[in-house]
Structure 1
Amino acid sequence: MATAALPRTAREIRLAARPEGPPERAHFTVAEVALPEPGPGQVLVRNRHFLVFPGLLTLIGGAVEGLPLPSLSPGDALFGPAVGEVVAAPAGSPLGPGALVSHLLGWREYALVDAADCTPLDDTLPDPVAHLAQGSAPYGALTRLAGVRPGDTVLVTGAAGAVGTLAGQTARLLGAGRVIGTTGSAEKAERLVAELGYDAVLLRGSGRPIAEQLAGAAPGGIDVLVDTVGGEQLAAAVGAARHGARFALLGALSGQLAPGSAGACAPAEIDSFRLVVRGVSVRGYLGTEHPGVEQEWTGRFGAWLRSGEIRFPHVRIPGIDRAPQALRELTQGRHFGAVVVELPH
């Protein structure tokens, strides 16, 4: 039933208090809990890595109307994408000890998961942690909503985040002729160009309006937008839209990171007249509406990784104790690419 002797207790991160602004270390606690035994249909997974992602801010804020995930209340354990190893399973389980799986009960050292909620992992990706890459959403947006075409000029907002670092590379691999990003850090802007092949990067907070910078970087306008931010950056994209431009909205960081926001509102003042006269389409991307994208993306991502055509930028934060601080650092824009907590095994 188990691969080896297991500890009697394990640690998990819980919400201690709902923050009114950006989360601080004091809003979380590291709780020690008894290690459960799996019942029928369940497996016990020792987590190796879990993802720190901005969507947690909305769940913590309690504003989850329209989302497929529950809100988090004080006392609840946090959750999110994780990769781990099955260490205990009842007889007859489809997943035996030693199986590598992905699931949604991160933020804890051991997770008791329904076997049906686990995805077995094979060697499609060269490193199991790559299963935490946030690339399926931009891939789906570019192939299902925006339909990127050879030669298109593509704008990616929030280009240095977990989604943006993969969105720009993917757009290029799908045929984009020019890829432009936005970020709030000059250092990140340099990395986006030097490491990930962005043609130009607009710098938020530089003293020059994003719209003015975009006009210089794409004087002929943009064909595709992959937007993770909203707000001023979405408004600037509308102003630069070519006829027939396709906008795919994947996130709303301008609202999630706004002081005092619960993360469920991201107002933006946009020129709707321009949307009409330019024939611009604007759609939000929901992975649940495109069930085949995840598998398709994983196959192509694995091939691109092995050929060296794409990179998976990420930082690994060691130890569960540092996970709350990692979330805080994410809100501060401290990291480049995905933020992953790595647990010893």
Structure 2
Amino acid sequence: MTSVDSTQIQLVRRPTGWPSAEDFRTATVSYGELTPGQVRVRNEFISVDPYMRGRMNDAKSYVPPFELGETMTGGAIGRVVESTDDDVPVGAVVLHQLGWRDIAQDDAEKFRVVPELPGAPLSLYLGVLGLTGLTAYVGLTRIAPVRQGDTVFISGAAGAVGTAAGQVARLLGAARVIGSAGSPEKVDLLTTKYGYDAAFNYKDAPVAEQLAAAAPQGIDVYFDNVGADHLEAALGTLNRDGRVAMCGAIAAYNSDEPVPGPKNMVKIIQQGLSLRGFTLGDHMDLAPEFNQRMAQWFGQGKIAYDETVVDGIDHAVDAFLDMMRGANTGKMVVRTA
């Protein structure tokens, strides 16, 4: 066994408003020889996700903030290149949370061996087959359950979670699925590839007007990735006993000032609405059920996907910043191998 150098991305300054490249640095970290029970993994793909922006703030949240001067973490998938643990052998494909680096080394228990699926790139374990898909599934089965015949609205629909959520909603029995996105190309993709019945560009006109036109009979479920004007529009359109899964609030992530809340909160009372926020860590008990159903749907050819792939660990920050600006379609990943 040998020592090795790993290229890693570290946070050196907490962003105010939109992050910039100057908030990060690229560092070389040396790993020594493995100790008993450890493995060394050459990452093939790492994930960049909106929630990571919140971890760059020094604020209490559902996950600890990134430490300044330390390598950031996040989803990653790779292959074991050295091992001292028989349960995680050399050559195994492993999923883990030691992203933002090209080589990871730690105790074997930090890595989960996953099978290679025919016809599926490993990066899908960071997207529709992984936590991204699970997020959509949890939101639409436990948080705001989709019922047969429902009309479902999904904001940020062309992103990683949104593209998964639209398909999951349909597979769970939704009769009509509506999405919002930020460009004509993404709107077209939603209706031609992902099975959305209607979609609109939120930049074209007020969201409330466009949603009302797309859902003249109202909506029953809203999967919220955006907040702000999208949440306000949904509250004004939800039918009696409507349900809202509050997954993200990307409209507020990079704001210097607090983003005003919806002006029509009284609708929650008038319509008997249920709004529930969630983070995935509280619902991991649904993972086995999701893995089984998603593997079946994927194997039956019922799941479409898009990925935006950026090459090189040195471009991980660029990928993150582009993702925050909506430059990705589907899941944004960085190919490090």
Point out 4+ residue stretches in structure 1 off by more than 6 angstroms: none
What is the match of residue 22 of structure 1? Answer: 18
**How big is the shift at 1:171?**
0.5
Change (3 A) 1:314 1:97: same
* C-alpha distance after superposition, 1:92-127 (max 9, x if no partner): 442121111111010101112332222110245733
Distance 1:192 1:242 in 2: 24
Whether 1:86 aligns to 2:80 is yes
Tell me the TM-score normalized by structure 2: 0.93
Distance 2:33 2:222 in 1: 47
Question: 1:137–1:285: 8 Å Cα contact kept in structure 2?
Answer: no
Question: 2:163–2:330: 8 Å Cα contact kept in structure 1?
Answer: yes
What is the match of residue 35 of structure 1? Answer: 31
Q: More deviation in 38-47 or 119-128?
A: 119-128
Whether 1:66 aligns to 2:64 is no
What is the match of residue 174 of structure 2? Answer: 176
Which residue of 110, 113, 119 maps to 1:117?
A: 110
Distance 1:55 1:107 in 2: 14
Question: 1:256–1:266: 8 Å Cα contact kept in structure 2?
Answer: no
Aligned residues: 332
Structure 1 vs Structure 2 CA RMSD: 1.8
Q: More deviation in 92-101 or 187-196?
A: 92-101
Whether 1:304 aligns to 2:297 is yes
Change (3 A) 1:297 1:9: same
**How big is the shift at 1:56?**
1.2
**How big is the shift at 1:311?**
1.2
What is the match of residue 201 of structure 1? Answer: 199
* C-alpha distance after superposition, 1:261-318 (max 9, x if no partner): 6xxx654224232111211111112323322222222222222222221112111111
Equivalent runs, 1:212-231 vs 2, <5 Å: 212-231=209-228
Q: Read off the aligned partner of 1:252 and give its amino acid letter.
A: A
Question: 1:37–1:44: 8 Å Cα contact kept in structure 2?
Answer: no
Q: Secondary structure at the match of 1:291?
A: helix
Distance 2:32 2:74 in 1: 20
Change (3 A) 1:288 1:20: closer
| Structure 2, unpaired ranges of 5+ | none
* C-alpha distance after superposition, 1:150-187 (max 9, x if no partner): 21000001111111011001101111111001112121
Which residue of 106, 125, 128 maps to 1:131?
A: 125
| Structure 1, unpaired ranges of 5+ | none
Tell me the TM-score normalized by structure 1: 0.91
Distance 1:36 1:298 in 2: 36
Distance 2:231 2:160 in 1: 19
Question: 2:10–2:24: 8 Å Cα contact kept in structure 1?
Answer: yes
**How big is the shift at 1:34?**
1.0
Distance 2:194 2:24 in 1: 35
**How big is the shift at 1:15?**
1.4
Whether 1:47 aligns to 2:43 is yes
Provide the identity percentage: 38
**How big is the shift at 1:201?**
1.3
Q: Secondary structure at the match of 1:179?
A: strand
Q: Secondary structure at the match of 2:284?
A: coil
Question: 1:230–1:266: 8 Å Cα contact kept in structure 2?
Answer: no
